[in-house]
Amino acid sequence: MADTVVGENPDPHAAGEDPNRRDFIHIAAGAAAVGAVGALAWPFIDQMNPSADTLALASVEFDLSKVALGQQVTIKWRGKPLFIRKRTEAEIAAAVADDGANMPDPEADEVRHKPGKAEWMILIGACTHLGCVPTFAGGDYGGWFCPCHGSHYDTSGRIRRGPAPLNLPVPEYEFLSDTTVKVG
C-alpha cells in the first residue's frame, strides 16, 4: 500500500521575499475566519435571552379591589411570585416603629411604598437568600417567614433575622388609578 512519507515538501514559506508581506495575507485570512465565527457567535448567544413575547408579558396590571384589608394576593409576574399586600394600620405602625432598629439591610418603611399609599406593600416574593417563596404573616415580625432556611421578614418586607442578606425587593410599579396598579 501507499507507504507515504512526509518529505521534501516544497516549503510554503520559501523564496526570497519580504517575510512581513508574506505572512500578512495568511494572518489576514486567519483573522477573517476568527472574525466570522465571532460575529456569528452573538446571535447564538442572544437567542437564549428573553424573547419578544416573553418581554411583552413583562408588565401586568392588577385590580387592587381584589385584596382585602390585612390580606395578600400573590400573582405571577415575570415567572416569579409578586406579593400585593394591604397592610392594616397596626402593621404599618409596627413597620414604621422599627425604622431605626438594627437590621441587615436598613431602609425606612416610607421608601418601600408609594407616597400616601402606605397600606399597599408590593414586593417580589422571592427570598433574597436562595429564592424560596416566604409564607404570609409568619415569622417573628409578622411579615413573612421563609421556610427554607428560616429568614424572618417584617411587615415592610425587610430582612430582620436569618440567612437572607437583603430586603424583599420592591418592583417598578405605578398606580394607574386608586384601584389599579401596573407592575413593570
Cell numbers that stand for 116 in this block: 400616601
* Kind and range of the H or E run holding 29: helix 19-46
Q: Which stretch binds ligand FES (CB under 6 A): 26-34, 38-46, 76-84, 145-153?
A: 145-153
Residue 127 touching ligand FES (CB under 6 A)? yes
- Give me the least distance between CB of 147 and ligand FES, in Å please: 8
Residue 161 touching ligand FES (CB under 6 A)? no
C-alpha pair distances (Å), 163 with each of 74, 86, 152: 23, 26, 9
Pairing of strands 151-154, 159-161: antiparallel
Nearer to ligand FES, 124 or 146 (CB): 146
Residue 132 touching ligand FES (CB under 6 A)? yes
Residue 102 near which of other proteins, ligand FES, none (CB within 5-8 Å, type-dependent)? none
Q: Which positions are annotated as active-site residues?
A: 149
Angle at 34 between CA 33 and CA 40, to 5 degrees: 90
Nearer to ligand FES, 143 or 162 (CB): 162
Q: Which stretch binds other proteins (CB under 8 A): 21-29, 85-93, 107-115, 126-134?
A: 21-29
What SS3 class is residue 180?
strand
Residue 97 near which of ligand FES, other proteins, none (CB within 5-8 Å, type-dependent)? none
The gap from C-alpha 74 to its chain's centroid, in whole angstroms, comes to 18
Q: Which stretch binds ligand FES (CB under 6 A): 8-16, 54-62, 86-94, 160-168?
A: 160-168
Nearer to other proteins, 18 or 172 (CB): 18
Rounded to an integer, what distance in angstroms lies between the CA atom of residue 31 and that of residue 174?
51
- Residues binding ligand FES: what is the number (CB under 6 A)? 13
Q: Which of 31, 130, 166, 176 binds ligand FES (CB under 6 A)?
A: 130
Contacts by residues 109-115 (CB-CB < 8 Å, ≥ 24 positions apart): 109/156, 112/156, 112/157, 112/158, 112/167, 112/170, 114/173, 114/174, 114/175
Residues in the site for ligand FES, rule: CB under 6 A? 127, 129-132, 146, 148-151, 162-164
